[in-house]
Amino acid sequence: MRVSAAIHRDFTIAAIDDRLYAAFIEHMGRAIYSGIYEPGHPQADEHGFRRDVADMVRDLNIPAIRYPGGNFVSAYNWEDGIGPKEDRPVRLDLAWRSKESNQVGINDFAVWARDLGIDMMLAVNLGSRGIEEARNFMEYVNHPSGTHWSDLRRSHGVEQPYNVKMWCLGNEMDGPWQIGHKKASDYGHLANETAKALRQLTPDAEMIVCGSSNDEMPTYPEWERQVLEECYENVDYISLHKYFGNSSRDTLNFFGKVEETGRYIQAIGGVIDFVKAKKRATNDVYICFDEWNVWYHKREEDSKNWKSWDWPEAPALLEEDYTFEDALFIGCLLNEFIRRSDRVKIACIAQLVNVIAPIRAEADGPAWRQSIYWPYQMASLYGRGTALSVAVDGPTYDCAVASDVPYIDIAAVHDRTAGAVTVFIVNRHLSEAADLRTTLTGFPDATIDFHQVIEGHDLMASNGPGAEIIAPTKGSGIAVDDGVLTGSVAPLSYHVVRLKV
């Protein structure tokens, strides 16, 4: 098939916020315990955190991480995780029907995040708790000294405040499964009052209010309208969540769900604009897509397990084995976030280690990178700068969730500081290569810096300990001459072409 595309230096979408490549980790399953933290492991550092896992996280160049939940946060008492470890209580986690040892809390997690150069995005409990506990948490975290909570932090060995700027006002409060689930107007009012209180302590804090848990919720998108009408002037972002699956084994329909995501973002962008106009507001609210990933391989099995087990500690949960098909999908989804970077400023892959994660780690054993690790890493490393509009003309297909889905998915990013343009290309076609011709207007002297590709695997192939078979390799067959990029793009392949400009 023949595909033509056009990229113009001056046809831009938006400056990409680095936090588009953020992550999320929750006290759930083995994400924390025997995930990032495992004292006694041969790779454990002096704080109990696994160096092998940390090295893989470091290579992702993650700018920010959301913590500690997730559904977990809606019944979490943050005070349980501070002070001497031997004095910390073991609690029952109502979200995932397991025991929480509290051996990792805010100060422990902050050490891990600091060592990896990752900013924390902290969630407060607006399910079982409220404004008072949220402001106490922020005072402990952000206030220098001279008060009960700040001096308590200093007594715990943390002299300087963390100055955390990103704060999530609860989690998935639209969901009936959530501890403390609320009606939209009630939650919006509570979020507004909480945001006002927290801004008294940290005036430049960024507030993230809960949007829909997914776009199939019966309250979507009315939930967003009601919530924002209560709190628009006092928040900076509204969160969206969405997980993806292919239980029907229809690969093209699976890939088409990226277009569905674009509609989701567009719809909530419209709600934001409506509320802003209705309230005559002067501030802008953006989207924080702070939970996204493929999740279906073990979802049904896990749902049965966790609802019946007898409160185990750090049980295996949601430990998806990601496939080559999943990697291609993630490549397309990240391209969509780049194309929607005018609306989506923060996005968090959910989650980071073991639980629906790009990194897996065995207790007392090895760690490895799953297939989805690589498109996430490529986008994080090379997808920073200004998103460029890409006009694509080529064959499309229809599927159950979308019409006119392009077989060739392309996103482009211009990094002026590095003097580079990165083109991310996915061929979704099951059997046909694409003869691609892309004009690069405004970049007449472009040359290829490098070309990486993931291709040639069975769609159901996956990585495992000691067998990372799905990984980028050096690409070939793509060239640039006189401002035109040409080449053959194999079916079912993911490409990163970095151009010097």
Token match 């990486």: residue?
452
Residue 332 has pLDDT above 90, yes or no: yes
Q: Which two tokens stand for residue 256?
A: 């088409």
Whole-angstrom CA distances from 164 to 32, 66, 154, 161, 292 are 20, 11, 16, 8, 23
Closest to 414 (Cα-Cα) out of 4, 9, 2: 9
Q: Which two tokens stand for residue 374?
A: 């690589």
Closest to 488 (Cα-Cα) out of 470, 496, 476, 471: 476
pLDDT at 378: 98
3 state DSSP class of 166: strand
Using one digit for the tens of pLDDT, what is the confidence trace for 63-85?
999 999 999 999 999 999 999 99
Is 291 among the residues known to form the active site? Answer: yes
DSSP state letter for 319:
-
Element (H, E) at 135: helix 131-142
Give the span between the Cα atoms of 404 and 345, in whole angstroms.
27
Using one digit for the tens of pLDDT, what is the confidence trace for 401-429?
999 999 999 999 999 999 999 999 999 99
Residue 163 has pLDDT above 90, yes or no: yes
- Most confident range (mean pLDDT) of 66-70, 299-303, 305-309 is 66-70
Q: What angle do CA 465, 471, 473 make, to 5 degrees?
A: 140
For domain 2-10+387-500, say whether CATH 2.60.40.1180 is its number.
yes
Q: Which percentage of the chain shows pLDDT scores above 90?
A: 97
pLDDT at 303: 83
How large is the average pLDDT for residues 185-198? 98
3 state DSSP class of 190: helix
Residue 466 has pLDDT above 90, yes or no: no
For residues 299 and 243, the model is more confident at 243
Token match 């500081």: residue?
417
pLDDT band at 300 (very low <50, low <70, confident <90, very high): confident
Tell me the β-bridge partners of 350: 24
Closest to 319 (Cα-Cα) out of 6, 34, 7: 34
Catalytic residue (one of 26, 133, 139, 172): 172
Residue 465 has pLDDT above 90, yes or no: yes
Catalytic residue (one of 291, 320, 325, 455): 291
Give the span between the Cα atoms of 28 and 357, in whole angstroms.
12
Give the span between the Cα atoms of 101 and 250, in whole angstroms.
41
Q: What angle do CA 458, 463, 468 make, to 5 degrees?
A: 105
Residue 492 has pLDDT above 90, yes or no: yes
Is 139 among the residues known to form the active site? Answer: no
Amino acid identity of 438? T
pLDDT band at 308 (very low <50, low <70, confident <90, very high): confident
Mean pLDDT of the chain: 97
Inter-residue contact 351 to 31 (CB < 8 Å): yes
pLDDT band at 342 (very low <50, low <70, confident <90, very high): very high
DSSP-H helix ranges across 32-124: 51-58, 106-115
pLDDT at 305: 84
Using one digit for the tens of pLDDT, what is the confidence trace for 358-390?
999 999 999 999 999 999 999 999 999 999 999
In CATH, what number does 11-386 get?
3.20.20.80
Give the span between the Cα atoms of 226 and 223, in whole angstroms.
5
pLDDT at 47: 98
Closest to 267 (Cα-Cα) out of 207, 224, 314: 224
Inter-residue contact 123 to 65 (CB < 8 Å): no
pLDDT at 307: 81
How large is the average pLDDT for residues 57-62? 98
User: What is the largest distance, in Å, between two alpha-carbon atoms of the chain?
Assistant: 69
pLDDT band at 189 (very low <50, low <70, confident <90, very high): very high
Residue 306 has pLDDT above 90, yes or no: no
Whether the pTM exceeds 0.85: the reply is yes
Using one digit for the tens of pLDDT, what is the confidence trace for 438-447?
999 999 999 9
So where are the chain's domains?
2-10+387-500, 11-386
DSSP state letter for 341:
T
